[in-house]
């Protein structure tokens, strides 16, 4: 490593923490991610989670005058002291004095650590990052998961933030960066950016420091190389399909799925010559037939599905699709990254409506696409053209919501399992759909690929549409609303909430009976929810 205090270079053998920052990357204009390089060294980005973290002596800041502290980013004083300290070499009083003096007078900038974040504003006399006076750090191998974070609950809290947040602050919470554009100090710096020598988001549609923290947090939970956050779950699904399925391509999907997704596949994609095969989630023979008879680009389904919570054998489906050159995308919204790791099971992409469990508080809309950098970059390219950008304030809400993700999901898993068993035994309930029940057609598969079965239970009331309406209206705790996965319990009658524009016979084609109820259990006390459901059933 080297630092320039004049035209010459001085060796700087400083060290990094044993647990480096979470990996991250700066957005390229074409949607990929990169670490800008100069010669054989890497220029560290001014934001992003791969910044180098230098260790300072505990009393370092107190040793500097206020004036020197205000100006220490203009010279390498931080690195000079840190390098000496990290090598266990005491800094002499004379050297310290020279460093402080230089800090208050020099105009050459260098990285300085604030808390646990680092910013690098190195530039030459033209304001560029490619001159001989630039501070250059050797590239370091990224470690995606620090050794002290072993569980998903810890990752949901700290991933993308502790030890690697790309925003210079000593605040525990990630700040909201409300900006629509990013400026360049000189035209030469803009040219450096265009030629990949300077890192910047450039424009709000291409990225945001707050949003990037959220993307890294989700990547850590999913075990993904990269994540793209978008304005809604539907935005994530549709942009993903537009990016990965060529004109004239073919998609395989399943019979049970979110209705708006089906509408997009059946109504919009045909305008680009894209056709689709629709199979039962468990129909492996149908999958093989579709793969043999079509040039399939993508297999896309939910697992569990909406609203019947069917499960797809992700490992088997992935093997069959990959053998034919098709990608596999799993919508894991019902499962959450805590209950199911679709990428580890063989899927190429996992999407979520972050509106649901990730946000967890019924107060924000968002969606995300996770997978390899190569695949997500293709989606990112289209996203930069179409828009659908998530506001950084919304990103902050999801970051905050994810800190309680494990606690919420554990409670919802437990409540849903117990309530599913109560409902299945109740004489006024005809059928219950929940992967945690032995009666579920994919129960054994769910046990194999899930660690929990989620907080949504669908069931059919014994009666007709009027009976079902009376049951729902008799409930006191849940809200009658769409969506799921929040702290508050939500209940809806799909025949009315999602399919009311279709006739009864048309609804039946999709298995949507008038007596079907979808109940999303929140984090209320189980005893209160059980009592409420039982009294509502007694009312019919």
- Reading the block at residue 466, the tokens are 């009027």
Chain centroid to CA 456: how far? Answer: 21
pTM of this structure: 0.74
Kindly report, residue by residue over 138-176, the tens digit of the pLDDT: 222 333 566 788 899 999 999 999 867 877 888 999 999
CA angle 519, 488, 402 (to 5 degrees): 110
Q: What is the pLDDT of residue 114?
A: 34
Task: Quote the pLDDT of residue 60.
Answer: 38
pLDDT at 303: 97
Question: 37 pairs with which residues across the strands?
Answer: 42
Mean pLDDT of 277-298: 96
Active site residue 433: no
Is there a contact between 368 and 351 (Cβ–Cβ < 8 Å)?
A: yes
Express each pLDDT in 230-243 by its tens digit. Answer: 999 999 999 999 99
Across the chain, mean pLDDT equals 80
**And the tokens for 59?**
């009393």
Q: Are 305 and 282 in contact (CB under 8 A)?
A: no
Give 96-132 pLDDT, tens digit per residue: 444 434 434 433 333 333 333 433 333 333 333 333 3
Within its chain, how far is the Cα of 413 from the centroid? 21
Measure the CA–CA gap between 45 and 18, rounded to whole angstroms.
Answer: 20
Give the C-alpha separation, 186 to 220, whole Å: 36
Asked if residue 72 has pLDDT above 70, the reply is no
Mean pLDDT to the nearest integer, 79-98: 40
Range of lowest pLDDT (216-220, 256-260, 435-439, 536-540): 256-260
DSSP 367-405: EEEEE-HHHHHHHHHHHHHH--PPPHHHHHHHHHHHTTH
pLDDT of residue 25: 41
Residue 59 has pLDDT above 70, yes or no: no
Q: Which of 206, 258, 396, 510 is catalytic?
A: 258
- Please check the confidence at residue 14 and state whether its pLDDT lies above 70: no
Q: Which of 145, 205, 259, 418 is catalytic?
A: 205
- Is 19:146 a contact under the CB 8 Å cutoff? yes
Catalytic choice (28, 44, 69, 356): 356
- Whether 291 has a pLDDT exceeding 70, the answer reads yes
Catalytic site includes residue 331: yes
- Residue 385: φ, ψ to 5°: -85, -45
In this model, does residue 33 exceed pLDDT 80?
no
To the query of whether residue 44 is one of the catalytic residues in this protein, the response is no
Q: For 363-407, how does the pLDDT look when each residue is reduced to its tens digit (9 = 90+)? A: 999 999 999 999 999 999 999 999 999 999 999 999 999 999 999
SS3 115: strand
Residue entry with tokens 């554009």: 181
3-state secondary structure 205-223: HHCCHHHHHHHHHHHHHHC
258 catalytic? Reply is yes
**Catalytic one of 117, 313, 331, 514:** 331
Would the pLDDT of 80 be above 60? no
Measured CA to CA, the distance from residue 4 to residue 8 in angstroms comes to 6
In this structure, are residues 147 and 19 in contact, taking their beta carbons and an 8 Å threshold? yes
Q: Beta strands of 214-260 (E only): which ranges? A: 226-230, 250-254
């Amino acid at each position: 490593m080297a630092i320039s205090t004049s035209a010459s270079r001085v060796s700087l053998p400083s060290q990094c923490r044993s647990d480096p920052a979470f990996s991250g990357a700066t957005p390229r204009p074409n949607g990929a991610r990169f670490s800008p390089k100069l010669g054989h060294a890497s220029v560290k980005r001014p934001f992003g989670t791969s910044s180098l973290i230098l260790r300072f002596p505990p009393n370092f800041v107190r040793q500097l005058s206020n004036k020197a502290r205000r100006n220490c980013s203009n010279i390498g004083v931080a690195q000079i002291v840190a390098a000496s300290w990290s090598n266990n070499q005491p800094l002499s009083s004379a050297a310290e004095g020279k460093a402080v003096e230089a800090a208050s007078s020099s105009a050459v900038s260098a990285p300085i650590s604030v808390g646990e974040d680092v910013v690098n504003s190195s530039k030459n006399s033209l304001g560029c990052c490619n001159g001989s006076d630039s501070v250059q750090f050797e590239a370091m191998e990224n470690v995606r998961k620090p050794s002290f974070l072993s569980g998903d609950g810890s990752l949901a809290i700290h991933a993308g933030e502790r030890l690697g947040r790309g925003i210079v602050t000593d605040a525990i919470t990630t700040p909201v960066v409300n900006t629509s554009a990013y400026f360049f100090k000189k035209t030469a710096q803009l040219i450096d950016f265009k030629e990949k020598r300077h890192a910047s988001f450039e424009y709000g549609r291409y990225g945001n420091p707050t949003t990037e923290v959220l993307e890294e947090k989700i990547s850590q939970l999913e075990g993904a190389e990269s994540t793209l956050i978008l304005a809604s779950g539907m935005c994530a699904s549709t942009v993903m399909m537009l990016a990965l399925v060529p004109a004239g391509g073919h998609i395989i999907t399943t019979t049970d799925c979110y209705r708006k997704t089906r509408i997009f596949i059946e109504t919009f994609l045909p305008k680009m010559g894209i056709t689709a095969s629709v199979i039962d989630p468990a129909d492996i023979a149908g999958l093989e037939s579709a793969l043999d008879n079509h040039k399939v680009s993508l297999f896309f389904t939910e697992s569990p599905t909406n609203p019947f919570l069917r499960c797809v054998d992700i490992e088997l489906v992935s093997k069959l699709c990959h053998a034919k050159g098709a990608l596999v995308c799993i919508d894991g919204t019902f499962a959450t990254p805590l209950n199911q790791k679709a990428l580890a099971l063989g899927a190429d992409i996992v999407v979520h409506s972050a509106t649901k469990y990730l946000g967890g508080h019924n107060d924000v809309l968002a969606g995300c696409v996770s997978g390899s950098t190569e695949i997500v970059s293709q989606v990112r390219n289209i996203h930069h053209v179409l828009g659908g950008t998530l506001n950084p304030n919304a990103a902050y809400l999801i970051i905050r919501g994810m800190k309680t993700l494990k606690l919420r999901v554990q409670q919802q898993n437990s409540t849903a399992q117990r309530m599913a068993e109560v409902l299945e035994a109740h004489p006024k309930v005809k059928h219950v759909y929940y992967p945690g029940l032995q009666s579920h057609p994919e129960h054994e598969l769910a046990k194999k690929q899930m660690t929990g079965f989620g907080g949504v239970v669908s069931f059919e009331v014994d009666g007709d549409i009027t009976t079902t309406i009376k049951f729902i209206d008799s409930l006191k705790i849940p809200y009658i609303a769409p969506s799921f996965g929040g702290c508050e319990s939500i209940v809806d009658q799909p025949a009315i909430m999602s399919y009311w524009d279709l006739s009864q016979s048309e609804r039946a084609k999709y298995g949507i009976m008038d007596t079907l109820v979808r109940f999303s259990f929140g984090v209320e006390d189980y005893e209160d929810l059980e009592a409420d459901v039982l009294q509502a059933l007694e009312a019919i």
